[in-house]
Structure 1
């Protein structure tokens, strides 16, 4: 996305009314800049205070890092409040960034053709997930059921990951339906997981499969997410809010940000090790339920330091979805325990 120098990453919402009538000379840049002054001043003062604290000693340095972490959670809401109190109706363009963006957006080239880092790692994660699922089920009498479930999970995951992006980009798709970029750009892990779960449920219902293989899907899911998040980090997507923590990463705009991609990669790596070791110790389907509750609880929390717009009730779209998934699987587990039967599940 091109970023005009006179506009910056904040775009004003035009408010119609008597006070703004006759505003034909284009005075909005000055007003927008005026609205940005409180945010810039508050940010500069916070950073200066943290820098002064960090030079006093080890204890003060640790305290400053903790305070900077709290500031990460408060700064977006403080900035929007300052803009509102300043009398300007503006919204942040949360994903506008320079043309050169990311740690390593192109991994390598083949005959002069660049290979995108993100696409490479997503494909690698998919291959590893399929091979790992096959390895974990090779000594179990799954027959063709395992193949059907794996295919349903892959196809449903791909469609689920793309469908929200297609909905968001619907105007561009209608305008340029033959442009592959508008069809291939963007995907979401949350949609991929939900799409895969729904596809597996439909296939099992259609074919009358009673076998519960969800426990063996969890290591594959976590491995796939791990490689996907490495690709996100190198490509510079799904990044976090600005931070003064020492491991903040500059993705191209000169701002140190929380590497939320690496936070999630480490989290799912731990889930992978645990699920691979414990997959045979859980009752059928219970490890999958544990994964859904744990991962979506994590996703709800990590969204507080990710750059995503608020959707409703002060929460982002992903937080609302994650909360719904957690509640659904908790209720499902309670119902299963109360009924004493193994119904539903993956």
Structure 2
């Protein structure tokens, strides 16, 4: 296989990254809409849905860009001088920013019910498809792993067998979704999403050690620190949901 993978349809050249990113957004959104329609706890007006979507998107863009810049703010020239880079984007920032934007929008609109669990499968599907696109893009995507001697190492074009960290992540999110939904089947609404987010961020903590990323902040990368903080917040929030449900369960037992 040669990287990056592109397809030519007549005069049009399509990159695999573009195709799979388009599939990730479109299929993930369609799955979200279907699950939302099937959930009786998510009956909202069109205006409320639009405001929640707007808050989620704006938050995701802001933190995806911000954390992306902190992850790799500069490169060093051959003379050792810093060359400052424009902001990139990162999924970790997008997830945390989207969650923050959604929660702030819910508070502003006075919506108290949890809307998070419906995102578990759409996010997993979108991430899995997106990571296939990252894999097929090769070195240009900067999501490849460190060199490895393992038999499944992939040569992305530089002559080195590397960890296919994109495929690791694809498999992880597809396993994580059914796992957290099963673990939280008797839990308060919103617990599954918080478990999913914590599980994904724990994965990113491990996966970053398999990538050639700059460790600029106390021996860790910006994504390391964001994953640690986000995981702690997600687990604490899940514990709060469980705690809030306990008095109701006790009263029912009486």
- The TM-score range, normalised by the shorter chain, is 0.7 to 0.9
Structure 2: where are the runs of 5+ without partners? 75-84, 248-254
Q: Give matches, 1:175-324, under 5 Å.
A: 186-236=88-138, 237=141, 238-274=143-179, 281-324=186-229
**Which one scores higher on RCO, CA 8 angstroms, separation ≥ 6?**
2
SS at match of 2:159: coil
TM-superposed deviation, 1:159:
4.1
TM-score by length of 2: 0.78
Deviations 1:261-288 (A, max 9, x none): 1111100011234456777654211001
TM-superposed deviation, 1:163:
3.8
TM-score by length of 1: 0.59
Pick the aligned partner of 1:162 from 54, 65, 77.
65
Contact 2:177–2:196 under 8 Å retained in 1: no
Measure, in 1, the Cα distance between the counterparts of 2:97 and 2:6: 29
* Larger Rg computed on CA atoms: 1
Pick the aligned partner of 2:7 from 108, 130, 134.
108
Measure, in 1, the Cα distance between the counterparts of 2:155 and 2:73: 31
RMSD, aligned CA: 3.0
Measure, in 2, the Cα distance between the counterparts of 1:220 and 1:128: 8
Structure 1: where are the runs of 5+ without partners? 1-101, 172-181
Contact 2:190–2:238 under 8 Å retained in 1: no
- Say whether residues 1:143 and 2:44 are aligned partners: yes
* Count of aligned residue pairs for this structure pair: 230
- Say whether residues 1:153 and 2:56 are aligned partners: yes
TM-superposed deviation, 1:150:
4.0
Relative distance call for 1:267 and 1:313 in structure 2 (3 A) is same
